[in-house]
Structure 1
Amino acid sequence: MPATLQSPGEHVPLDDTMGSMLIGVIVSAILFGISVVQTLYYYSQYPKDVWYLKSLVAATIFFDSLHMLFITHTIYHYLITGYYDQTVLTRIVWSVIVEAIPTGVTGSLVQCFYTVRVWRLSRKSVLLTGTILFLIIADSICGTVWVVLALLRHTYTDLLHISPLTISINGISAAADVLISASLCIILQRSKTGFRTSDTMITKLIFFFVNTGLLTSLCAVGALLSLAISSHTLIYASWYFCIGRLYANSLLASLNGRNTIRGQTEDIDHMLLSIPNAVLSPSSNSGSNGQRPDISIRIDTSTHKDVEADDSKQDDDSFVNTLANPSKSSL
C-alpha cells in the first residue's frame, strides 16, 4: 500500500530523534568514504607490508563496512519503512543495537595497535601498557554486556534503564584514548635530542597523536554528555555512529603517513642511528660517550625501507617503523 502524508497537525517532531540519527549517518558515510580511499591508498603504496598489518587494515575496513550497512538499515527502517508511523519510531530496530559490535571491534583493534606502540616505545613498561589494556578489555566487556541487555529491550524508553552502562562505555573509551595519546606524546617529547630535523619530525608526530586522540575522545565525550543531558533524544546516537569511523581513519592515516615522513628525512637518512645499534653497539656512534636514552629519537630518520623498498635487504629499524610498522624481530 502506498504511503500517504499525514496532516501537519499529526506530525511528530523528529529533529532531535530521527533527525539527529540521520545527520550521524550522513557524517558517518562521509568518513566511511575517506576510510575506503585511505585503504586503497594503503594497499597500493605499501604492498610489501608485513601480513599482520595488512590483516589489521582488512579487518578494520571490513567492520567499518559492516557498521555502515547496519546504520543504513536503521535509518531506512525508521524513515522509509516506518514513514510517520509512531509505533515504529518508538520501537528499537535490531540493527541500531547490533551496530555497536563492529564499532567496538574497530575501536579495540585500533587501540591495541597503538598500545603495542606504547609498549615498545616505553621500553616494555608493564604498568603503562597494562593499564591501557585493562581499559580496553573493560570497555569491550561493558560493550558486550550492553548489546545483550539492549537486545532484550523493545523501546527507547526501556533503553534508558541501561544508560549508566552506556555512559561508562563512553567514559572508559575516552580514558583509554587520552592515556594512549598522552603516553605517546610524553615519550616522544622526552626523546628530543636537539637536532632540528628530528625534533621537527617529533613535533609533527606529537601533533598527530594529540589530534587523533582528541577526535575520538571528543566524540566519546560528546555521546556521553548528550546522553546525560538529553537522554530523551537520540542526539547521542549521531556521535556514536561516527566514532568507529574516526578510529579507522586514525589507523589508516598513521600507516599512510609513513612515506611522507620518510620523504622529509631522506637527506639525513645515514646521519642518525637506530635504537638497536645505539643500544647494542654504543661505540659505533663515533664521538659518543654514552649518551642518554634520548638517542631513541634518532630512529625517526633511520631507514624505513625494510618494508617498502622493492628488493632491499636492509634491516634497520626506524622510529616511524616503530610507531606504525613493527618489524618481526622486535616483537
Structure 2
Amino acid sequence: MSAATLELGAPLDNTMGSMLLGVIVSAVLYGISLLQCLFYFTRYDHDPLYLKTLVAVTVVLDSLHLAFVIHTVYHYLISNYYEHGVLQVMVWSVALEAVPTGVTGALVQTFYAYRVWRMSHHNVFLTGIILILILANSASGTAWVVLALEAGTYEKLLHISSLTISINALSTGVDVIIATTLCFTLHKTRPASLETETMVNRLILFTINTGLLTSLCAFASLISLIVSPKTLIYASFYFCIGRLYSNSLLASLNARGVIRGQINDIDTNFHTKSIHPRSPIPREVFARPDGSVNEMTVHIDRETEFYADEGYTKHRRPLSDNINPSTVLADAES
C-alpha cells in the first residue's frame, strides 16, 4: 500500500514503522481497558446481564485484535525481516484485524445510540439516523475484509481505497453525532454533584464518557488516508480505535457513581479527615455528597458462658451494664 512495500530499498518508517507505533499504543490502551474491566466487575457486580456481557465481549474482541496486529508486525519485521517479496503481500492477520475493530465499534456505538434515545426523550429520528449509519459502516467493513482477502497484495488494495475512506468517514460521522448529542444533553442536565468539580474534571468526564476521543482518532485516520493514501500512517490511528471504543464504554460505565454523586470515597472526594483514635467520630464523616447524613446504630449483644469443672455443665447468662459479682459467682459455683 505504499512505496516501502513496492520499491526495493525504501525506508519502512511510514509503513511498518507506523504499524509498530500503532501496536505499541494499542497495547497500552489494552492494559488500561483491562484495569477498567477489573474495576467494573468489582464495583458494579449488580449490573444487568446484558451490560456485563457487553463488557466481556468487548474485552475479548480487544484481545483478539491485539493478537492479530502483533502477528502482523512480527510477520513483517521479525520472521521476514526486510524481504522485498514478503512486504508486497498482505498477511491474513492485517485484513482480519478489521473484524474485531468493526464489531467493537458497532457494539459500542449501538450502546451510545440507545443512550441518545433515552437522553433525547425517545427521539426516533435522531436515533434512527445513527443506527442507519452504524449498519452502513458495518456493511462496508464486511465488504472491505472480503475484498482485502481477495486482493492479496498492497498494490491491489489501493483499488479499494475509496471504500476504506468511506468506512472511516462513516465511523467519524457516527462518533461526531453521538459525541455532540451527548455533550449537549449532559451540559443541559449535568448533575448537581459536578458543580463543585473543577472545569478540567468536567471536560475529562464529558470527553471520555461521550466517546470524543474515538471521534478524534477516527478523524485522524481519515485525514491520513486522504493526505497520504500510499502509506500506512493511518494504521497508527486505526489500530487504536477499537481500544478507544472499549475504554470509552468502560469509562462511561465506571463513572456512573461519580456523575450521580452516589459514591463518597477517596475516588470521588480526593480528601480525608484525620480523626484522633480516642475522639468520637463526627457526623460529617458519614455525610453523603448532597449533605445528608447516614445514621448508623451499633447494637451489641453480650453474654457470658460458664463451664463447671465437673460434668462440663454449661451456663449462659446475659450481661447487663450493672452486674452483681456475687450473683455471677453463685451461678458459677452451682
Match of 2:176 in 1: 178
Larger radius of gyration: 2
Residue 267 of structure 1 deviates from its aligned partner by 3.2
Contact 1:182–1:210 at 8 Å: present in 2 too?
A: no
C-alpha displacement of 1:259: 3.2
After superposition, the CA RMSD in angstroms is 2.3
Which residue among 96, 99, 112 is the counterpart of 1:98?
A: 96
Conserved? CA contact 1:167–1:227, under 8 Å: yes
| C-alpha separation in 1, matches of 2:192 and 2:61 | 41
**2:185 aligned partner:** 187
| Aligned mates of 1:249, 1:89 — CA distance in 2 | 32
User: Deviations along 1:231-281, whole A, 9 cap, x unmatched?
Assistant: 12111111111100000100111111223332269332879xxxxxxxxxx
Q: Distance in 1 between matches of 2:224 and 2:194?
A: 42
The alignment partner of 2:151 has SS state of: coil
Structure 2 residue 130 is the aligned partner of structure 1 residue 132:
yes
Residues 244-283 of structure 1 aligned to structure 2 (within 5 Å): 244-261=242-259, 262-263=262-263, 266-268=288-290
Which residue type is aligned with residue 237 of structure 2? W
1:188, 1:202 within 8 Å by CA — same for their partners in 2? no
Contact 1:171/1:224 (CA < 8 Å) preserved in 2?
yes
* One-letter identity of the residue aligned with 1:138: A
> Number of residue pairs matched?
260
Q: Equivalent residue for 1:208?
A: 205
2:157 corresponds to: 159
Partner Cα separation in structure 2 for residue 201 and residue 53 of structure 1: 28
Compute the displacement of 1:210 (Å): 3.6
Pick from 235, 242, 247: which aligns with 2:233? 235
Residue 35 of structure 2 aligns with an amino acid whose one-letter code is V
SS in 2 for 1:158: helix
**8 Å contact 1:21–1:238 — kept in the other structure?**
yes
Gaps of 5+ in 1: 1-9, 272-331
Partner amino acid, structure 2, of 1:49: D
Q: TM-score of the superposition, structure 1-length normalised? A: 0.73
- 1:208 to partner: Cα distance: 2.8
- TM superposition shift of 1:207: 5.1
Give unpaired runs (5+ residues) of structure 2.
Answer: 1-7, 269-287, 294-334
1:116 aligns with 2:138: no
**Secondary structure class of the residue paired with 1:268:** coil
Measured after TM superposition, the shift of residue 197 of structure 1 is 3.9
Residue among 47, 50, 62 paired with 1:49:
47
Equivalent in the alignment of 1:22 = 20
In the TM superposition, residue 220 of structure 1 has moved relative to its aligned partner by 1.0
